[in-house]
Structure 1
Amino acid sequence: MARVKYILFFFLLFKTLLPFAQNPEEIEIMRDNWGVPHIYAPTDPQVAYGLAWAHAEDDFSTIQLTLLGAKQMLGRHLGKEGATVDYVVGLLRCEEIVETNLSKVSPEFMAIVEGYAAGINSYAKNHPDELFLKNAFPVTVKDIFKAYVLQLAVMDGADKVIKALFENEIPNTTQTGTGSNAIAISRDRTDDEYTYLAVNSHQPLEGPAAWYEAHLVSDEGWNMLGGLFPGGPVVFHGTNENLGWAHTVNYPDKIDVFELEINPSDKNLYKVDNEWVRLQSKKIKLKVKVLFGLKLGISKKAYHSIYGPVVKNDSGVFAFHMGVFDEIRAIEQWYEMNKATNLEEFKTIISDIRIPSFNIVYADRESNIFYVSNGLLPLRNSSFDWSTTLPGNSSKTKPVEYHSFKDLPQITNPNSGYLFNMNNAPFHATYEDENISFEDYDPTMGFVIRENNRSTRMKELMNMHSDKISWEVFKNIKYDAQLPDSLVYKIDINPIFHLTDIQPKKANDVLKIIQSWDRIAFAEKIGPAHLLLTYKYLEDKKIESPSKADFTNALSYTYDYLTEHFNRVNIKLGEYQKLVRGNKELPLDGIPDVITAMYNQPYKDGMVKGKTGESYIMMIRYPEEGLPIVETINVYGASNRSNSPHYNDQMDLFVERELKKMTLDIEEVRKNAKRVYHPK
């Protein structure tokens, strides 16, 4: 019977895939003025095929890097750095996780992933000169799922835990990030009676976790516009005709670390419930690119326990566990969310928690707004301290079941008419009297209760706008770049605004600039660059509670730095911080943890350039009837190919805080498209 079901499954899958296999001319890729792909096809698998092709046209390099990692072939292309990723894929047992859980994926969604894989493989076959490794293709459905097991594990902190353990440190599983924003306003709070949604996650500006914008349309009810990552067959957040949502990273306790009790006579035996259990081990074969294209074959052991992957170091033997090890259907859940039509249906879709983390802030045409701090969080024995490393010698600490959806912090349609999350605690998501309470939730979930500068500022802004909010005010809130009165940074920088009698004079000159600054981090402002440089000095010196002497040294450093590189002290942020791509270099807003946040990296001549932060922005208005009104911007453009006109054509709009108009009306797209073609 099982064999019959297996054959039937693949027969149905093959039947579903026939249309795009035989009729690529049915798939339309429509490029708008900005080069954004709008993909139409009769069936959803065909749309996925078209998405793969269009995305490969724009960024085949990054898609290849994502898939090479999943196939444990990155070392053959990147050398030692890539081999590290290959080893992590083996350590996490991504292949085994996919093998174990693949049967849970519905045939309908399997067809979507097959369609995507077929599109990538077809592009690779037709563009052999672009391949990093000739034998990396074709890719399979399993490769795509493995890529997302790895990516979601990394986004939930696996890389930081592994790095800490290999560096002989006890990992801190409390995760911190660079920030994202999501804001929903109900129709009762807007002066034009639209429901508003701001989709504004802060991601790397380039690379495997940078946003790609696409519009996906089929005759089977798929009409979704938004952002996805390289290798993604669906939109991860954005809007359809009826509803939309934004993700931000959340910080419950997503990772449990266990210290194993090792047998003194056999380092590969560990104790569980008074019995010795042997560590599972396997050799991970790695091929590493060295010189002149030569590849060196090496192998490294990886261990596994009942708790999860194992790392041995000088302090002991440690295992760790995360929800992503038990669930591979996150991308299937995103696909179903893409096609949801109302709040009830949306909640039903997300209620079985296949996406392992992320806040969700939702809005729709019916004026519903909703927030949940989503996560696959184990039901934990409260007799243990889950905030630290756990004993790995008892089955009582082994994750078995997970909290249900109803256990998660969430709010629907508060009377205040607004919801937000800026990576802050889920217990501060709306007007204070309507917030949920930390005490009402299982403390072993480990939800953070801290606030940050962005959430503090957001509360200030909503208190300032207690009446109806206009669309312009909403956009100004989203683009707000002002620090709150009291700052919440890792280093306590607050005293700098109250210091007096600083010597030498050069330190006092910088101090006066910082103290006279209005705390708005726009490119044209004088003061943000000075605070950034002063903070960087304290950060490099690992000074978390600076004394007056520490501030004096930091301010002196800032003076010396500016006079060395800019020949003066009185510079604007945009002279120091740039948005750079190709031959285009523009002044750039933002500092860490303002609402319009930006994190930078060294550039040249003493300048820095944007690295992570404001990137893909989507602003949506939902009417009661008709399609949503959508405006978006992507930090650089639709293509990562330097010879494309869309490589950096959105940069000017981006730095001017302007958006481009988009539509979900595929006929309007077709009528105005600059190019319409088929993926062949």
Structure 2
Amino acid sequence: MKKLFFCLFLSQQLFAQINPDNIKIARDKWGVPHIFAKTDAEVSYGLAWANAEDDFKTMQLTLLAGKGMVGRIKGKDGATVDYVVALLRCREVVEEQYDKVLSPEYKALIEGYVAGLNAYAAKHPEEVLVKGSFPTNTKEYTTSTVLSLSMISGVDAVLQKIFKEKVKTLEDFKAAGSNAIAVSSSKTSDGSAYLAINPHQPLEGPVAWYEAHLNSEEGLNILGALFPGGPVIFVGVNENLGWTHTVNYQDKVDVFQLEMNPTNPRQYKFDGKWETLEEKTVKLKVKMGAFTIPVKKVALWSKYGATIQTKQGTFSVRFSANQDIRGIEQWYKMNKARNFSEFYKAMQMTAIPGFNTIYADKRDTIFYVSNGKIPFRTEGYDWKNTLPGNISKTLWTSFHPLKDLPQYINPASGYLFNANHTPFNATGMKDNLQAKDFDQTMGYEVKDNNRSIRFQEMFSQYDKISFDEFKRIKYDGQLPQGKLHFPANTDVLFQLNPSEYADIQPLIENLNSWDRKTNVESKGAAIFLVMLNYFTNELGKKEEIADHVISTDEAVAAFRYVNTYMKQHFGRIDISLGDLQKLVRGDIEKPSWGLPDVITAMHTRPYKDGKLKVVQGESYIGLIKFPKVGLPEIETVLNFGQSTHADSPHFADQMDLYLSQKTKKMTLDKAEVLKTAEKVYSPK
């Protein structure tokens, strides 16, 4: 009890400027928190409290990384996270930059946020996962954000390949996806600009979306979504403008093989001289059953960065996300931008290490940039593969400014979109940029996917579109015509002669007649989904599957697998997609539409009794109209609800809206929010 009071006292003393009575949290009928206060810091305090009320457990999983405490709750897997924080020097870069590069306004914001976290933990000690993890501080919090942005950059996948001695893993049929669309008034029937916010994230966990509305008297008035533990909106809309993100795949991470001294395993050659690897002993604590075991592990560092020694050699990893701690501050400035000029100035920070960004505003500006913090690299090296780590020519030290990156402002075609495909197919064909005009060492993707092809099929049908047609494009659930674009060539699946295979004839006929729609009633979609999972497993045994052409024998084997699978689990082969694929929340289980790489993408894992559970895909959806006069018109929906607590009325109250592809009306109007709020209170 004494410790509880001490934590509460310390939190209040460190952040005495935050008075919870000055903060109002208004919960609407869906449980979405609308947070009102005089200052941004107070609003951030209220956001921390509201998010903690709904999902404190998930928030802590991210925050614990900043304190090196994940291993105390997640055992060996958690200790790996703690080790990676040390390996990537996330804390060191925070210590070095915190007082030098962060603005006073942003520091005040995260001080308010951390104060809200500490106050909630002090008030609810029974919800704290790891003893001694609170109070936390702003540098620990910032350390966790550096790690998060590093993981988003793809460093985790690179490290896994190195630790596994470069075992090639399958980039399977379930590649994650997101969609973003902006349409200017020249393309709309009502003269408004439109924006579709449609990121495809895991439906639960540390990177699942949480919706909130932030409103201060310092110019903050924005509604949108963030990840649990985020102090600002990551995708959303304010009174003047809105934006969304999709993951992009330019070259964000470089791997270097060091030339080691055969007589000294801690020395590597650089520009003809032997250099010594820096060593740091990392003290980890690992939960093992009822006990916590202390473990020591060495973290190595070269001129290139984090270094790992394996039987195959010694490798260093270099990337931008652990060299700049201002990523969340950039989002904060995007939140507060009042026009395109201010938004573009925020983007010029290039502190967010990746993400396509698509934007629209009330002044009829639409914009797209394939954003990234991308280094200037020396030409003449294969930057997509392992690089020589023995020469200063490969040691990059500076980054491209925003103006160097592929971007579009108000194309004549009147629309912009991205679906995780090449930035060189973002609008009408005559207005697209050319890959050859950009620095090739940046490694931008040049391929399309099923969603991007389908988007162009649909946009080409319209001279102008209404908001209802805009919604139909966003909610389209059909694979494109012609050749499908999956990691392996699936053409043969649709070319078999049913009469030649009597045992699987009905399945072949069903797939051949499939309209490529992925609604819950579709039987063809059910066959195709089981096949995708089959090929993911079978081709995953091969080292390379990119451009693999599925043979007739492989196709027949896949149909026979489907035949056996459906009979074994469902007792028949004419099941629909909704029989197979389920959206699950607690004890609630409902049929779900969607397949990988349709616009309404869904990605699944085995569930029970042969059924598949949706775990990623369509998540937070925002559909925005910017009329020429007045506030933006906003419609949103979450896949489940605001709360992760099964006893909350908002645990799954948006699920039916989501599955019926409908939305809820939202507003930035403070008076309207307070008038209709179901609960208004202060965070204390």
The TM-score with structure 2 as length reference comes to 0.95
Aligned partner letter, 2:328: I
Match of 1:654, SS state, is helix
1:450 corresponds, among 419, 440, 447, to: 447
- Does the 8 Å contact 1:17/1:45 carry over to 2? no
Aligned to 1:493: 490
Matched with 2:8 is none
Q: CA-to-partner distance for each residue in 1:93-132, whole Å, 9 max, x for gaps?
A: 1101111221200111001000000000000000001111
Distance 1:557 1:170, change over 3 A: closer
Query: Which letter does structure 2 place at the counterpart of 1:448?
Result: E
Q: Is 2:52 aligned against 1:56?
A: yes
In the other structure, the counterpart of 2:188 is 190
Partner of 1:252: 250
Match among 661, 666, 677 for residue 665 of structure 2: 661
Residues 303 and 310, structure 1, Cα contact 8 Å, conserved in 2? yes
Which deviations, in whole Å up to 9, do the C-alpha atoms of 1:54-88 show, x marking residues without a partner?
00000000001111122110111111111111111
CA contact (8 A) 1:355 1:375 kept: yes
Give the equivalent residue in structure 1 for 2:135: 138
Q: Which residue does the alignment assign to 2:679?
A: 675
> After superposition, what is the alpha-carbon deviation per residue over 1:152-176, rounded to whole angstroms, capped at 9, x for unaligned?
1111111101111010117799999
| Cα deviation, residue 19, structure 1 | 3.8
Aligned counterpart, 1:10: none
For residues 433 and 451 of structure 1, the distance between their equivalents in structure 2, rounded to whole angstroms, comes to 17
Secondary structure in 1 matching 2:315:
strand
CA distance in 2, matches of 1:155, 1:502: 49
Name 1:646's counterpart in structure 2: 650
Any residues of structure 2 matched to 1:273-672 within 5 Å, and which? 273-292=271-290, 294-465=291-462, 467-485=463-481, 486-501=483-498, 503-542=500-539, 544-672=548-676
Paired letter, 1:240: N
- How many residues are aligned here? 663
Letter in 2 for 1:387: K
Alpha-carbon offset, residue 398 of structure 1: 0.7
Q: Using the alignment, how far apart are the partners of 2:606 and 2:325 within structure 1? A: 37
| Map 1:65-144 → 2, pairs under 5 A | 65-102=61-98, 103-144=100-141
Per the alignment, residue 11 of structure 1 pairs with none
Deviates more, 1:494-503 or 1:321-330: 494-503
Q: Residue 278 of structure 1 aligns to which amino acid in structure 2?
A: T
SS at match of 1:270: strand
Distance (Å, rounded) in 2 between the aligned partners of 1:265 and 1:621? 67
Q: Is contact 1:128–1:134 with CA below 8 Å preserved after alignment? A: no
Q: How far did 1:15 drift?
A: 12
Equivalent AA in structure 2 for residue 269 of structure 1: Q
Q: 1:17/1:69 Cα in 2 relative to 1: closer, same or farther (>3 Å)?
A: closer
Contact 1:579–1:585 (CA under 8 A) maintained in structure 2: yes
Match among 258, 261, 269 for residue 259 of structure 2: 261
- Contact map agreement 1:70 1:147 (CA 8 A) in 2: yes
Partners of 2:277 and 2:131 in 1: how far apart? 36
2: CA distance, partners of 1:125 / 1:156: 34
Give the partner amino acid of 1:632. Answer: T
Which of 39, 43, 47 is matched with 1:47 structurally? 43
Q: What is the rounded CA distance, in whole Å, between the counterparts of 1:509 and 1:214 in structure 2?
A: 49
Kindly indicate whether the alpha-carbon contact (under 8 Å) linking 1:502 and 1:552 is maintained by their aligned counterparts in 2.
Answer: no
Is the 1:507–1:553 contact (alpha carbons within 8 Å) kept by the matching residues of 2? no
**Contact 1:16–1:111 (Cα < 8 Å) also in 2:** no
Deviation at 1:624? 1.3
Question: Aligned pair 1:178/2:176, yes or no?
Answer: yes
The alpha-carbon distance between structure 1 residues 377 and 626, as it changes in their structure 2 partners (threshold 3 A), is: same
Q: Quote how far apart the aligned CAs of 1:511 are.
A: 1.2
Give CA-to-partner distance per residue, 1:319-378, whole Å, 9 cap, x none. Answer: 011111211101001000001111111111211211111000000001110000000111
Root mean square deviation, CA, Å: 1.6
Whole-Å separation in 1 of the counterparts to 2:255 and 2:112: 38
Report the equivalent of 2:4: none
Task: Confirm or deny: 8 A CA contact 2:498 2:504 kept in the other structure.
Answer: no
Q: Which structure 2 residue ranges, 5 or more long, are not aligned?
A: 1-11, 540-544
Q: Contact 1:598–1:613 (CA<8 Å) still a contact in 2? A: yes
For the residues of structure 2 that align with 1:574 and 1:344, how far apart are their CA atoms?
A: 47
SS, match of residue 54 in structure 1? helix
Match of 2:215 among 214, 217, 220: 217
Contact 1:361 1:372 in 2 (8 A): yes
Partner Cα separation in structure 1 for residue 499 and residue 617 of structure 2: 34
SS of alignment partner, residue 236 of structure 2: strand
- Counterpart of 1:34 in structure 2 is 30
Once superposed, which parts of structure 1, at least 4 consecutive aligned residues long, lie more than 4 Å away?
14-18, 170-177
Q: What is the TM-score of this pair, normalised by structure 1?
A: 0.96
Work out whether residues 453 and 594 of structure 1, in 8 Å CA contact, stay in contact via their aligned partners in 2.
Answer: yes
Cα distance between partner residues in 2 of 1:583 and 1:174: 32
Q: Which residue in 1 is equivalent to 2:269?
A: 271
What one-letter code is carried by the residue in structure 1 that aligns with 2:203? Answer: L
Amino acid at match of 1:191: S
The one-character-per-residue Cα deviations of 1:243-277 (angstroms, maximum 9, x if unpaired) are: 00010001110011100000000010001100111
- The one-letter amino acid paired with 1:636 is F
How far apart in 1 are the matches of 2:14 and 2:135? 20
Give the letter for the 2:652 counterpart: N
CA distance in 2, matches of 1:142, 1:502: 68
Match of 2:7? Answer: none
What is the CA–CA distance in structure 1 between the aligned matches of 2:382 and 2:224, rounded to whole Å? 40
Q: Give a deviation string over 1:418-456, Cα, whole Å, max 9, x none.
A: 000110111000000000110110000000101000001
2 CA distance for matches of 1:605 and 1:325? 44
* CA positional deviation for 1:649: 0.6
Give the aligned residue type for 2:253: I
- Alpha-carbon distance change, 525 to 160 in structure 1, aligned in 2, over 3 angstroms: same
Aligned to 1:325, what secondary structure does the other structure show?
coil
The whole-number CA distance in structure 1 between the counterparts of 2:103 and 2:608 is 51
Partner SS state of residue 376, structure 1: coil
- Are the aligned partners of 1:41 and 1:217 in contact in 2 as well (CA < 8 Å)? yes
CA distance in 1, matches of 2:553, 2:413: 46
Residue 542 (structure 2) aligns with: none
Partner Cα separation in structure 2 for residue 252 and residue 170 of structure 1? 22
Instruction: Tell me, yes or no, if structure 1 residue 167 matches structure 2 residue 134.
Output: no
